[in-house]
Amino acid sequence: MRSRILLIAVASLGLVVPVAARADCSGSCSGGNCTFDGILNTPIGAASLSIDASCNLVVSGIGSSLTDGVIQGGLNSVYMITTLATPNFSGSALGTRADIRQVGTVNGQPNHEISITRIQNVGGGTVRMDMDCGAIQVAAYSTEVYDNNTLVYAQTPTADTPILLFPQADMEAMACALLPDGDLYTTVRFGGSIPITLQTASGNLGPFTGSCVKIRGYSPALVPTLQEAIENRFKDTGPVSIVSLYAGALPATNDVVCPGAPVPVRPTSWGSVKILYR
């Protein structure tokens, strides 16, 4: 079975969404754009879009400039899932990269960056992932590691921008989430249990063996309230194959990507607080 990446951007209510690949086919292309599962896809850079015989949306023309990719726009929703058959990083070459930029309404202003997650093969069999929420000025970040839906490690919130290092591994799912109070999180689920290291200003933490990670951002000075678009830019990935798209609502209790990870609430103080559940 081919491996899949699932990219999710999130923010509000309570709907459980299946993460399995689509069984139906709903898509059409016109004027270079493709409407796929009811969501408008627009190519950027030198990329082009098509729908293949397997009813996958294919993004071709990916080069080395990190300007080629696709935008899922006009979302005006609080939850977005993109299931990808390719690319994946288990067999990637040095420099292969994917940047996922979440854009939406922030402090009432549209078209504002909310978060950007970067995933890159940095060589030596290692993939580096970071999440930056500087555009909305979060107060702190934390990272949680789960293995088979069991919490393995919970970091005390810190001002450090989260950086994760892990072996070249297939990523089955990824999520970027906005909570109703403006806090946010990103979750990534891997194809199995792998060693995950957190890189911090005071030194590395771990490795911790886990199959899923959740990165959280707290108390943004600029509060995001609506997701408008997901901008996906790729470098040296080859064609990107999108299996399905879905726009909906935030699960009421547990995260879809990390089922063992409860939807969090904001800590009342940073101190010794490591994790709080709704």
Quick check: 88 pLDDT over 90? no
- Structure token pair of residue 255: 């995260």
pLDDT digits (tens, 9 = 90+) for 248-274: 787 777 777 777 777 655 555 444 333
- HSE value, Cβ hemisphere, 13 Å, CA-based, for 158: 16
Residue 82 or residue 202, greater confidence? 202
% of the chain exceeding 70 in pLDDT: 85
pLDDT digits (tens, 9 = 90+) for 154-165: 999 999 999 999
Q: How distant, in Å, are the alpha carbons of 119, 145, 193, 212 from that of 148?
A: 22, 10, 8, 8
pLDDT digits (tens, 9 = 90+) for 203-254: 999 999 999 999 999 999 999 999 899 999 999 988 888 888 877 787 777 7
Which letter does DSSP use for residue 95 in this model? T
CA 195, distance to chain mean position in Å, is: 19
Instruction: Parse the chain into domains and list their residue ranges.
Output: 5-248
Hey, how many other C-beta atoms are within 10 angstroms of the C-beta on 170?
Answer: 17
CA 244, distance to chain mean position in Å, is: 15
- Structure token pair of residue 228: 């408008």
